[in-house]
């Protein structure tokens, strides 16, 4: 721990521990205990007596906690990066960069991405990062806004603003605790204490913390200088580098619900101030009006009268790239490529080249570059997809950094080559599970990557496991993994859409055992035969490993390795068809399956009988069967 306060969800990671490795992701070392009858374990615990710290609780698995008092967490890998949503560099120190992960806090490199060190553990109260800014006039001053602003259904809310005055060695909390999701932070090039912040507020409903905030004293106090409504926040800011009194802000009317994303309304658009934020004017002059969604704005340092906007709008062909050559008075559309505006709520960022007024970058599933004033865009190859932030060194324009769903990468060759993301333990795991092998292995599905398994111990290292010992076990980024306790190399691994793979690593056999061959992408939940949650539960019976359960709105069961499935329950959700819509509104639909709603979200087997199953739905119901699914009772708490 680096300082006072609680730690983020990531561990402190020192350069020395990776000197001979290509990179690192985080998993904790867990215990793998041999399966034993629950009552026998409870009996053993009761015999341990008060000195062992265990209490006899009939019918429950109870362990003597004193046996584990000396255990400590240790990193066992895998060492590959997870989703990052913020990146910034230091112009005067061209090999120094910061990156912010959605679950792993803030990291710093001083060798252009060869090694990364965590600098936020012990100071930050959350690990979700929305924005990072380094003061141009003092590279030791760094501001961080927490709360990822790319509001997926499983987004983590932030806890305000942090500031460092020693290059990330220590941090102080600077308020705005209820800002929720912070989209951007910009610092005056002349005064490191003058800082502006774009806040969405929390993503799940109207709230007063949406707006643009200003601090003149390094974050000690904040003033809300721009507010549209409690339904519309701000996602992006841009400052004229020659005249820091001139600012632009992108408003976004948005709200996240479990079954959909609302991106767009009549209050969005671009605003401008010419007096350091005291007064603001909404810009039109050729920009889309009416129904507009997420937007991003940037000013060309090579020509501050040239301003770029990337915007989501209705109709869709009105969205795209707009350029102003008179500081925002008039605008013209230069590109309406849907490659740049698809899934706008998750992407959409635009960045001007610091030297060439005709070069501009846009982020979406990939980064794109235009060198003809925004007319045509060419995709830039990067190590990972789904790009969220970008930084160009204003003094060395060939030096770039990008944040994406694989972490952060650095280029010193204008994007021709990039550093690895296999050196930053920031992976987002939906869950972890252990097998009963020796050494036991730890398994987990990593967001926007694959399932992965690493051994708890590796000959020759004793701590970190080399990449050659990692294995995948089928499935995908979001699914559960079920393991046979008697055959540790046999697994069932899921993915979104209800996909399941049965993998036997001993025989090398792998086959898909999906219950029903449906394509969920692009479909409304109410039109699907089986509504599988993004994290659809998979459960192997502790009493009979040939029995596996899979949950949609029903409980499905197989006893023959997935060759056939039987439905053993009615619909155990509220089945509210109004919440089973094609997600995404009012401009574009969101068709990846994340928002499939009215599903079973949790499934558990009883400890004493295979006939007992508990099921919990994402719309708030709990059901219980005591006869193996023949009958179910609603036991939802009042």
The arithmetic mean of pLDDT across residues 498-508, rounded, is: 92
Span 304-317, pLDDT tens digits: 999 999 999 999 99
Q: Is the bond preceding 315 in cis, omega lying within 30 degrees of 0? A: yes
Q: What is the DSSP letter of 46?
A: H
The most distant pair of C-alpha atoms in the chain lies apart, rounded to whole Å, by 82
pLDDT of amino acid 36? 34
Cα–Cα distance measured from residue 499 to residue 519, given in angstroms and rounded to the nearest whole number? 10
pLDDT of amino acid 16? 29
- Token pair listed for 160: 């305000």
> Token pair 């936020």 is at which residue?
120
Cα–Cα distance measured from residue 284 to residue 587, given in angstroms and rounded to the nearest whole number? 19
| Confidence check: pLDDT of 6 > 60 | no
What is the chain's mean pLDDT, rounded?
Answer: 89
pLDDT of amino acid 460? 65
Cβ contact 384:421 at 8 Å: yes
Helix (H) or strand (E) holding 47: helix 38-48
Which architecture, in CATH terms, is 433-634?
A: 7 Propeller (2.130)
Domain definitions of the chain by residue range: 32-70, 84-411, 433-634
| Confidence check: pLDDT of 73 > 50 | yes
The arithmetic mean of pLDDT across residues 347-352, rounded, is: 97
- Most confident by average pLDDT, 40-49, 223-232, 475-484: 223-232
The arithmetic mean of pLDDT across residues 337-360, rounded, is: 96
pLDDT of amino acid 72? 87
Cα–Cα distance measured from residue 187 to residue 216, given in angstroms and rounded to the nearest whole number? 10
pLDDT of amino acid 26? 37
pLDDT interval class at 59 (50, 70, 90): low
Length of the chain: 638
The arithmetic mean of pLDDT across residues 190-206, rounded, is: 96
Phi, psi of 170 (to 5 degrees): -135, 160
All residues at 6 or more sequence positions from 107 whose CB lies less than 8 Å from its CB, including other chains? 98, 99, 100, 101, 116, 117, 118, 119, 120, 408, 424, 426
Q: Is the dihedral of CA 125, 131, 132, 135 positive or negative?
A: negative
pLDDT interval class at 593 (50, 70, 90): confident
| Confidence check: pLDDT of 508 > 70 | yes
Helix (H) or strand (E) holding 602: strand 600-605
Fold annotation for 84-411:
Methylamine Dehydrogenase; Chain H (2.130.10)
pLDDT interval class at 40 (50, 70, 90): very low
84-411 against 433-634: fold identical: yes
Span 139-174, pLDDT tens digits: 999 999 999 998 988 888 999 999 999 999 999 999
Helix (H) or strand (E) holding 348: none
pLDDT interval class at 198 (50, 70, 90): very high
pLDDT of amino acid 30? 38
pLDDT of amino acid 52? 45
Cβ contact 450:476 at 8 Å: yes
| Confidence check: pLDDT of 34 > 50 | no
CA atoms within 13 Å, Cβ hemisphere of 189: 14
Span 421-441, pLDDT tens digits: 999 999 999 999 999 888 889
Q: What is the DSSP letter of 180?
A: B
Cα–Cα distance measured from residue 237 to residue 309, given in angstroms and rounded to the nearest whole number? 11
Question: Alpha-carbon dihedral of residues 508, 430, 236, 259, nearest 10 degrees?
Answer: 100
Cβ contact 52:66 at 8 Å: yes
- In three-state secondary structure terms, 239 is strand
- Token pair listed for 141: 């001053």
Span of 31-35, 135-139, 479-483 with lowest mean pLDDT: 31-35
């Amino acid at each position: 721990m680096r300082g006072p306060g609680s730690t983020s969800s990531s561990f402190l990671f020192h350069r020395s521990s990776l000197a001979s490795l290509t990179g690192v992701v985080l998993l904790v070392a867990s215990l793998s205990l041999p399966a034993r009858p629950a009552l026998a374990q409870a009996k053993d615990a009761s015999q341990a007596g008060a000195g062992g710290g265990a209490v006899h609780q009939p019918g429950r698995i109870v362990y003597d906690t004193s046996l584990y008092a000396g255990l400590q967490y240790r990193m066992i890998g895998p060492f590959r990066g997870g989703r990052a949503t913020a990146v910034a560099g230091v112009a005067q120190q061209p090999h120094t960069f910061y990156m912010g992960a959605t679950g792993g806090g803030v990291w710093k490199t001083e060798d252009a991405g060869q090694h990364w060190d965590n600098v936020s553990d012990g100071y930050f109260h959350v690990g979700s990062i929305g924005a990072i800014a380094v003061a141009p006039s003092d590279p030791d001053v760094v501001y961080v806004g927490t709360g990822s602003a790319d509001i997926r259904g499983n987004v983590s809310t932030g806890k305000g603003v942090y500031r460092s005055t020693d290059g990330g060695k220590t941090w102080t909390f600077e308020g705005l605790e209820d800002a929720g999701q912070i989209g951007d932070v910009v610092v005056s090039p002349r005064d490191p204490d003058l800082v502006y912040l774009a806040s969405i507020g929390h993503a799940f409903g109207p709230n007063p913390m949406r707006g643009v905030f200003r601090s003149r004293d390094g974050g000690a106090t904040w003033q809300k200088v721009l507010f549209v409504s409690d339904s519309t926040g701000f996602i992006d800011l841009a400052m004229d580098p020659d005249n820091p009194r001139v600012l632009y802000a992108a408003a976004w009317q948005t709200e996240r619900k479990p079954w959909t994303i609302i991106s767009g309304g009549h209050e969005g658009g671009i605003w401008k101030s010419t007096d350091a934020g005291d007064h603001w004017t909404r810009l039109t002059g050729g920009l889309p009006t009416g129904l507009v969604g997420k937007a991003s704005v940037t000013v060309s340092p090579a020509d501050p009268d040239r301003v770029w906007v990337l915007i989501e709008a209705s109709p869709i062909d009105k969205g795209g790239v707009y350029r102003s050559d008179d500081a925002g008075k008039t605008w013209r559309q230069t590109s309406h490529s849907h490659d740049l505006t698809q899934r706008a709520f998750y992407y959409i960022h635009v960045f001007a080249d610091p030297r060439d007024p005709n070069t501009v970058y846009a982020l979406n599933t990939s980064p794109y570059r235009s060198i003809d004033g925004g007319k045509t865009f060419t995709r830039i190859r990067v190590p990972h997809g789904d790009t969220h932030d970008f930084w160009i060194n204003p003094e060395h324009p060939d030096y770039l950094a990008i944040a994406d769903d694989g972490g952060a990468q650095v280029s010193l060759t204008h994007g021709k080559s990039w550093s690895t993301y296999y050196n930053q333990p920031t992976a987002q795991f939906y869950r972890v599970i252990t097998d009963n092998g020796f050494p036991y292995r730890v398994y987990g599905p990593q967001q926007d990557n694959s399932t992965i398994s690493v051994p708890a111990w590796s000959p020759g290292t004793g701590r970190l496991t080399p990449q050659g010992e990692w294995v995948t076990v089928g499935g995908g980024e979001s699914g559960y993994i079920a393991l046979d306790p008697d055959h540790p190399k046999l697994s069932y691994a899921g993915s979104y859409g209800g996909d399941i793979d049965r993998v036997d690593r001993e025989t090398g056999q792998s086959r898909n055992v999906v219950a029903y061959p449906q394509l969920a992408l692009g479909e409304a939940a109410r039109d699907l035969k089986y509504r599988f949650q993004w994290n659809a539960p998979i459960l192997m019976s502790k009493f009979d490993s040939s029995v596996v359960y899979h949950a949609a709105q029903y409980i499905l069961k197989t006893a023959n390795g997935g060759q056939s499935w039987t439905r053993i329950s009615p619909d155990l959700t509220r089945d509210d068809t109004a919440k089973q819509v094609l997600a995404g509104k009012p401009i574009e639909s969101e068709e990846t399956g994340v928002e499939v709603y009215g599903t079973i979200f949790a499934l558990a087997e009883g400890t004493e009988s295979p006939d007992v199953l508990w099921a919990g739905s994402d719309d708030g119901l709990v059901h219980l069967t005591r006869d193996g699914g023949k009958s179910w009772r609603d036991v939802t708490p009042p």
